[in-house]
């Protein structure tokens, strides 16, 4: 085992970064990206004296391109294995999008014994994205079927269309596209495995995190862009905040799903205030 990977019980290698010392902050990336999506946060919080940790979810980035385990229980168990390996105590777990679901499941099921101090959900998928009888405001299954079709037909093109359009709000009038951001999203996505990315669509869209949210006993900051076109705010952040016992809800007018990249200065300042407050 090299110092930048752990091997889980089913033999999957999970890549991680572990920089600095001090109170640990663990960053959980969105679909279909990698720990590199947190560059702006990792560097910022490292400079503030924190220990910053981020992993590539199984099948994503530099972790094993396994064909199994692409659902939230296994994702959370992988994080628990990493936290145990690094002996993390009093950590802050920050999750974006799919990573927010991972944080909710991890903290609810594995976050006891002083391992977790606080949690943050940014543009996160909980409580549940899919439209159901119990969640009439959700997105219809046809939306996610469309994702699967586009991925299977031409993943490389799909992974251009998402970041150049709705992910960062570059499809909005007057918003200038940042080519490096689009290219970096594509680079991260194409590093991962097609099977993992295909299966993860079901994991992020159909998992119901309602009971996870109710069980989280640590202070939790819920941050969401009001112009989020990937995880629409009306059916996510306010509902999560109502379910969480100790929630603070902060929304951002006009900001997109990928606001931690496009507006890192704003997001980092608010994260710091919550973490140190």
Of the candidates 29, 228, 235, 236, the residue annotated as catalytic is 228
**Residue 43 to residues 135, 152, 161, 188, Cα–Cα distance (Å):** 38, 35, 28, 18
Which one of the listed residues 63, 97, 164, 205 is annotated catalytic?
A: 97
Catalytic-labelled residue, pool 29, 70, 93, 257: 257
Query: Would residue 257 show up in a list of annotated catalytic residues for this protein?
Result: yes
Active site residue 228: yes
Residue 227 appears among annotated catalytic residues: no
Active-site residue numbers? 97, 228, 257
């Amino acid at each position: 085992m090299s110092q930048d990977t752990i091997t889980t019980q089913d033999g999957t290698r999970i890549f991680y970064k572990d920089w600095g010392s001090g109170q640990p902050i663990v960053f959980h990336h969105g679909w279909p990206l990698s720990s590199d999506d947190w560059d702006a946060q990792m560097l910022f919080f490292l400079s503030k004296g924190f220990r910053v940790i981020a992993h590539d979810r199984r099948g994503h980035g530099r972790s094993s391109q396994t064909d199994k385990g692409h659902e939230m229980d296994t994702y959370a168990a992988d994080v628990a294995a990493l936290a145990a390996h690094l002996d993390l105590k009093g950590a802050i777990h920050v999750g974006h999008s799919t990573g927010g679901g991972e944080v909710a499941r991890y903290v609810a099921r594995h976050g006891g014994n002083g391992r977790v101090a606080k949690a943050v959900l940014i543009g996160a998928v909980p409580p549940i994205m899919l439209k159901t009888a119990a969640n009439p405001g959700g997105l219809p299954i046809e939306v996610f079927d469309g994702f699967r079709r586009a991925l299977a037909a031409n993943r490389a093109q799909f992974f251009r269309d998402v970041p150049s359009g709705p992910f960062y709000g570059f499809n909005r009038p007057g918003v200038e596209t940042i080519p490096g951001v689009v290219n970096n999203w594509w680079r991260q996505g194409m590093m991962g495995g097609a099977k993992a990315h295909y299966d993860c669509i079901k994991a992020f869209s159909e998992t119901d995190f309602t009971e996870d949210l109710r069980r989280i006993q640590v202070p939790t900051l819920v941050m969401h862009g009001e112009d989020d076109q990937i995880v629409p705010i009306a059916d996510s952040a306010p509902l999560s905040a109502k379910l969480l016992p100790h929630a603070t809800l902060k929304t951002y007018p006009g900001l997109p799903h990928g606001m931690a990249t496009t507006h890192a200065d704003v997001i980092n300042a608010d994260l710091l205030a919550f973490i140190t407050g």
